[in-house]
Structure 1
Amino acid sequence: MRTTVINPPGRLPLPPWSELWEAREVALRFGQRDVVLRYRQTAIGVAWVLIQPLAAAGIFSLVFGSVANLPTGGIPYFLFSFISMLAWTLFSSVLGRAAPSLVANQALVAKVFFPRMLVPISTAMSALLDFAVGLALGIVLLVIYGVNPGWGVLLLPVWVLLFVLLALGIGLAASAWMVRYRDVGYILPWALQFALFATPVAYSLDAVPDNLLPVFAANPLSWLMELFRYSLLGEALPPTWQIVGAVLVSIGGFLLGAIVFQRHERSFADLI
């Protein structure tokens, strides 16, 4: 018979990594359920995954490409905006699904003992599946437009992982706060909308005026977006400090979010 030992938290509430790993099957089940429920009883199923980035790329192409005529470094604007939206959709999907996950599964959280952190973490699975479908279309567009990403494409999984880690870090903290304050659910969409335009998704940093460039360049999402486009569109590799900063911010953001989550976890069953 297996014995479960529950240790009291230390001064720094680090997540129980070993428990999370041992219960990874739970996360897999949550992820599978999320995928099934997301596309159940939909007429076009997984095609919805492609509609959002395609529609956004079309609108951005009209407004920023045709009307504003923003520079994209010689990349066709529709392709530029579609690839950018792939990265943004991955980030916003992981964050947007992780944040309300505890409240959405309140019956399980309140009655069943398991590492609660697996609930928001498992939401990344469906977001990554959506991303894979969109990436397949992105590759087709690269071929159609004749854009060769070069050897930088080999680093794409690294940038994807950093996007997911940063989104999960924020999502873990947001999910813990949402248990106590449902206001988070109202604030988050506005914050994501603001971040969309504060991040070079529909434009490149070259289009930002010099007096505002330091502000936009200080956004960690800008670093990740530039790295993502480097791998798929063959743009110039960002400076080393941005690469190092992207790695540190993503990993640090995930750890900080996990610590915030762990600090609040003991009160979930009472508050949810």
Structure 2
Amino acid sequence: MNRDELALSTGARHGRGTAASARAAARRSRVTVIIPPGRFSLPRWSELWEAREVAYRFAQRDVLLRYRQTVVGVAWVVLQPLASAGIFSIVFGQVANLSSDGVPYFIFSFMGMLAWNLFNNVLGRSAPSLVSNQSLVSKVFFPRMIVPLSSAASVLLDFLVALVLGVVLLIVYGINPGWPVLLVPIWVVLVVLLASGLGLIASALQVKYRDVGYVLPWLLQILLYASPVAYAISVVPENLQGLFNANPLTWMLGMFRWSLLGLDQPPLWQIGGFAVVAVAAFYLGALFFQSWERNFADVI
């Protein structure tokens, strides 16, 4: 290599090194401007996406803490719906002798509990999440909405484990739900949207009003029996049918039982109505959360 070629090669390497150093310096000197959310503004979805690693760590911690130092471990995920379905099948199926729309009462109530637990656990775990992480919320900056939303990840894991058992029960009982089973992921997404939207509202309220931690479990317990989880909607007296059919959770249970048990398809207005309610609940929950977020660090 002659002197000119050596000079050109050295200059090129120097140029690449200078450019790399400039990019590294730009990354180090990048300034992040924190702007408080507006009173009626939606969250900045780009910020949530950039903080996805934080959401993953929250979800991972929830799973580990939930089953750490337990004797039974992850088996609690299937024991709870199994025990509830067994009690419901005895009380409502044998003692009260209620109808289960032609399918064995045990699997009828098990599938109902599967859908109910998805809704109940997402809402129930997201509501106290901010208060449970108050030291992080008050001292470290990150999108606060990640805390209640990440609660859904551990619930989805529980749901998938219980769903596997549900498939085994379908095989045991010889039930073939048919093609509607392909719609289950859509119903799951809608339920998570509905429960997460309500959870955002409940978690924001609980920061200021700790009464939410006492009232919400009580309301969910009442809602469990006010919704056709352990019984069929067909056994509800005719004068109360309109009240039960106005409950979006009735629509949810009908969709799950159609897809998982092969029962009659719910009316299209219930399917469309549940999709609208789920999306609207999440949208309103995000707006409400954003409007209250600016005061979290002061009152938590």
TM class, shorter-length: over 0.9
Match of 2:218 among 155, 180, 190: 190
Q: Distance in 2 between matches of 1:65 and 1:187?
A: 30
Deviation at 1:12, TM superposition (A): 2.3
| Counterpart for residue 181 of structure 1 | 209
| Counterpart for residue 282 of structure 2 | 254
Quote the RMSD (CA, aligned, Å): 1.0
1:237 counterpart = 2:252 = no
The 5 A counterparts of 1:142-181 are 142-181=170-209
Deviation at 1:135, TM superposition (A): 0.4
The 5 A counterparts of 1:46-195 are 46-195=74-223
Percent of aligned positions that are identical: 66
Is the contact between residue 37 and residue 43 of structure 2 (CA under 8 Å) also seen in structure 1? no
Deviation at 1:50, TM superposition (A): 1.0
TM-score, normalised via structure 2 length: 0.89
Q: Distance in 2 between matches of 1:207 and 1:267?
A: 48
Q: Distance in 2 between matches of 1:188 and 1:241?
A: 29
Match of 1:43 among 51, 68, 71: 71
Deviation at 1:5, TM superposition (A): 3.1
Q: Find the residue that maps to 1:148 and give its secondary structure.
A: coil
TM-score, normalised via structure 1 length: 0.98
| Structure 1 segments unaligned to the other structure (5+ residues) | none
| Counterpart for residue 269 of structure 1 | 297
Letter in 2 for 1:158: I
Q: Distance in 1 between matches of 2:50 and 2:85?
A: 41
Count of aligned residue pairs for this structure pair: 272
Is the contact between residue 81 and residue 114 of structure 2 (CA under 8 Å) also seen in structure 1? yes
Letter in 2 for 1:159: W
| Structure 2 segments unaligned to the other structure (5+ residues) | 1-26
| Counterpart for residue 15 of structure 1 | 43
Deviation at 1:68, TM superposition (A): 1.2
Q: Distance in 2 between matches of 1:34 and 1:9?
A: 27
Between 112-121 and 4-13, the greater mean CA deviation after superposition: 4-13
Deviation at 1:199, TM superposition (A): 1.0
Letter in 2 for 1:186: Y
Q: Distance in 2 between matches of 1:173 and 1:72?
A: 35
Q: Distance in 1 between matches of 2:39 and 2:290?
A: 12
Is the contact between residue 127 and residue 200 of structure 2 (CA under 8 Å) also seen in structure 1? yes
Q: Distance in 2 between matches of 1:194 and 1:161?
A: 24
| Counterpart for residue 252 of structure 2 | 224
